């Protein structure tokens, strides 16, 4: 997830769309392969706010690479309104690659994040609330009410 407030609003999306390469700072490489690289980045806005998101750099198709990043962008834009999928916030077509800025969801899901946080907090006796939240999440999922939005936890900073 991005931002200090936890959710990305329209203002932040506009800032991401206007971000320059110099405004984007890599935090950690998340994956690398034949078609490109995925890394966790902080985007520094003109006001100094730092927004956390995922940057995906996908190589354009070539004689040795049949990847089509335009189709991935098209698919992500088609599901932009879904509350249950990672969101595409910005995409830029460069000379050799596509750069996508995406929503960041640590540990894959809110449930995965809470499990990880609970493990680290259980030694201090503060895990009770975490386990209660996991139980609520599981019951919501059974009822079909799961939501993708994550709070901005100090764990990520």
Q: Band the pLDDT of 127: cuts 50, 70, 90.
A: low
Domain CATH code at residue 45: 3.30.200.20
Residue 95: inside a domain: yes
pLDDT digits (tens, 9 = 90+) for 67-114: 788 888 888 888 877 766 778 888 888 888 888 888 887 776 666 766
Residue 91 shares a structural domain with residue 118: no
Domain extent for 77: 10-102
Domain end marker among 77, 102, 127: 102
Q: What pLDDT score was predicted for residue 41?
A: 92
Residue 115 shares a structural domain with residue 83: no
Residue 39 shares a structural domain with residue 15: yes
Q: What pLDDT score was predicted for residue 39?
A: 92
Residue 77 shares a structural domain with residue 149: no
What are the residues whose beta carbons fall under 8 Å from the beta carbon of 30, sequence distance 6 or more?
38, 39, 40, 54
Three-class SS state of 139: helix
Number of structural domains, the chain? 2
Read off the pTM.
Answer: 0.60
Of 147 and 30, more confident: 30
pLDDT digits (tens, 9 = 90+) for 11-61: 666 777 777 778 889 999 988 987 889 999 998 877 788 888 889 999 887
Residue 41 neighbours by CB distance under 10 Å = 22
Q: How far apart are CA 79 and CA 81, in angstroms?
A: 6
């Amino acid at each position: 997830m991005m931002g200090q407030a936890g959710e990305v609003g329209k203002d932040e999306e506009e800032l991401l769309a206007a971000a320059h390469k110099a405004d984007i700072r890599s935090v950690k490489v998340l994956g690398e392969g034949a078609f490109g690289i995925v890394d966790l980045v902080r985007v520094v806005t003109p006001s100094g706010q730092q927004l956390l998101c995922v940057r995906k750099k996908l190589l354009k198709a070539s004689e040795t690479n049949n990847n089509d990043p335009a189709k991935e962008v098209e698919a992500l834009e088609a599901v932009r309104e879904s509350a249950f999928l990672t969101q595409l916030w910005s995409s830029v077509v460069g000379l050799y690659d596509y750069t996508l800025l995406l929503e960041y969801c640590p540990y894959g899901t809110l449930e995965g994040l809470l499990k990880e946080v609970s493990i680290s907090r259980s030694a201090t006796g503060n895990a009770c609330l975490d386990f209660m939240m996991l139980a609520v999440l599981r019951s919501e999922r059974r009822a079909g009410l799961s939501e993708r939005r994550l709070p901005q936890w100090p764990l990520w900073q």
